[in-house]
């Protein structure tokens, strides 16, 4: 007997599926019309995952709109240029294998198909934890800067990927509380209102 509670909302609430390196997951989400959200992958990999999503949608006779597609990115806003990451040298994305945890925890045996494993190597050939701040910015894993710079970065993501939803990871690594709170304040007061026209 399955003891899980069913949602009271009918039809059920919208279902969003995250992903980084599984073509099968993207196809599966497309077949069902769930919103698909890649994260912490380069734009070309996100585009490829969206193509798998479209393939699944086509198989099910579904039309794909920007509302079906999202993207998650790490974003930090600051008052002045160069302040955006709470100190560039200390900013690190700790996703993926990391010295603080065993590598076998990152991708347990049997959790990925052979195709998914191959795609993962292409999607992220090296750990984000080993990349410099400059590399993370250049490859669009993070957006950091003044409200205008961050708004421009968000507009770039939308133009490049044609998404309807942008999700934010607004705190990362060694950012202190004051930097994090100021970033959230600027995001709400200046960046998000500037994006209302998109």
Whole-number percent of the chain with pLDDT over 70: 79
Report the chain's mean pLDDT, rounded to a whole number: 83
Give the residue extent of every domain in the chain. Answer: 16-97+107-194
Note whether 17 and 23 are within 8 A (CB): no
What pTM does this model have? 0.81
- Pick the closest to residue 34 from 71, 58, 69 (CA basis): 69
Helical H segments across 33-88, by residue range? 43-59
54 has pLDDT over 80: yes
50 has pLDDT over 80: yes
- The CATH classification number of 16-97+107-194 equals 3.20.20.30
156 has pLDDT over 60: yes
DSSP string, 76-131: EE-SSTT-TTSSGGG-----SSBTTB-GGGTS-TTSS-HHHHHHHHHH-SS-GGGS
pLDDT digits (tens, 9 = 90+) for 67-112: 999 999 989 898 887 655 544 544 555 554 455 566 666 566 556 6
């Amino acid at each position: 007997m399955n003891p899980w509670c069913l949602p009271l909302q009918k039809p059920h609430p919208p279902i969003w599926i995250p992903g980084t390196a599984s073509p099968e997951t993207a196809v599966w989400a497309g077949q069902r019309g769930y919103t698909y959200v890649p994260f912490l992958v380069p734009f070309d990999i996100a585009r490829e995952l969206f193509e798998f999503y479209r393939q699944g949608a086509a198989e099910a006779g579904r039309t794909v709109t920007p509302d079906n597609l999202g993207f998650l990115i790490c974003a930090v806003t600051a008052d002045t240029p160069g302040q955006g990451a709470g100190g560039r040298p200390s900013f690190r994305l700790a996703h993926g294998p990391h010295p603080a945890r065993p590598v076998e925890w990152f991708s347990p045996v049997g959790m990925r198909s052979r195709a998914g494993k191959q795609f993962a190597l292409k999607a992220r050939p090296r750990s984000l934890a080993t990349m410099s701040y400059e590399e993370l910015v250049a490859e669009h894993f993070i957006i950091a800067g003044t409200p205008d710079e961050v708004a421009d970065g968000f507009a770039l993501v939308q133009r490049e990927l044609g998404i309807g939803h942008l999700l934010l990871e607004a705190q990362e690594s060694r950012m202190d509380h004051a930097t994090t709170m100021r970033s959230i304040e600027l995001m709400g007061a200046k960046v998000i209102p500037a994006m209302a026209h998109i």
